[in-house]
Amino acid sequence: MKPAVFNHCVVHIHSPSSRLLLSAEPLDLSSLIRPADDNKERYELSSDGTMITDHETGLTWDAEEREFPNADAAEKYVAKMNLGGFRWRIADDMEMQTIVDRSLREPACHPIFKSKGGWLLTSTPYKLDKDKPAGSSGYVWIVHFHHGGVGDDGRNNRCWCRAVRSVSPSGQ
């Protein structure tokens, strides 16, 4: 299989003034983004069906995408989650992209995730203004599971979230 090298591309569709941003450096996710057939043993659903473990990245995902009125509500909910007795968090943009499968569409992820194919919130602040620090704009990076793209969205907008946790060597 040919290695997948992606240029980080963002299309902002949530405002009247659309823009396209391209980075100078390619983003090589070939070791993590593969066609679904290559992922048969990569993911494992917990016996109770509430968690999905990614054996390649060491991340465990909430099996459910949850809807929230805004990013603050999502963060508060996830901070209090005790699914399986573990602590959870919102994934950053790079972690979220590890479950994207660009050989699929609607949704662009392995079927085990049962994604609704919408934008999922990440914890990574979006730098809207080059003269201000990341996060000051009130925007965050999001990943779209309809087609596997990335973009940005305002923290005050309705959002969907899939919580994640890192699996430590001790199993926590």
What is the secondary structure of 83-136 as a DSSP string? Answer: GGG---EE--HHHHHTTB-TT--SS-B-GGG---SSEEEEEEEP--STTS-TTT
Question: What total of structural domains would you count in the chain?
Answer: 1
Please, which pLDDT band fits residue 16 given cuts at 50, 70 and 90?
A: very low
pLDDT digits over 39-63, tens only?
568 899 999 999 999 999 999 999 9
**Is pLDDT of 124 > 70?**
yes
| Interval 112-123 mean pLDDT | 85
Residue 87, domain member (yes or no) = yes
The β-bridge relationship of strands 150-154 and 159-161 is unpaired
Out of 1-15, 50-64, 140-154, the most confident range is 50-64
Residue 76, domain member (yes or no) = yes
Residue 23 to residue 165: CA distance in whole angstroms: 29
Task: Give pTM, 2 decimals.
Answer: 0.71
Segment among 12-16, 25-29, 123-127 with least mean pLDDT:
12-16
**Is pLDDT of 34 > 90?**
no
| Interval 128-137 mean pLDDT | 65
Q: What is the CATH number of the domain that holds 114?
A: 3.10.100.10
Residue 11 to residue 29: CA distance in whole angstroms: 19
What single letter denotes the amino acid at residue 47? Answer: S
Token pair belonging to 100: 């994207």
Residue 121, domain member (yes or no) = yes
Residue 54, domain member (yes or no) = yes
Residue 81, domain member (yes or no) = yes
Residue 93, domain member (yes or no) = yes
Terminal CA-CA length for the chain = 34
Q: What is the pLDDT of residue 8?
A: 42
Mean pLDDT over each residue of the chain, to the nearest integer: 77
Please, which pLDDT band fits residue 115 given cuts at 50, 70 and 90?
A: confident
Residue 16, domain member (yes or no) = no
Question: Which residue would you say has higher pLDDT here, 39 or 161?
Answer: 161
Residue 47 to residue 51: CA distance in whole angstroms: 9
Residue 20, domain member (yes or no) = no
Q: What domain range is 47 assigned to? A: 42-166
Query: What 3-state DSSP class applies to 79?
Result: helix
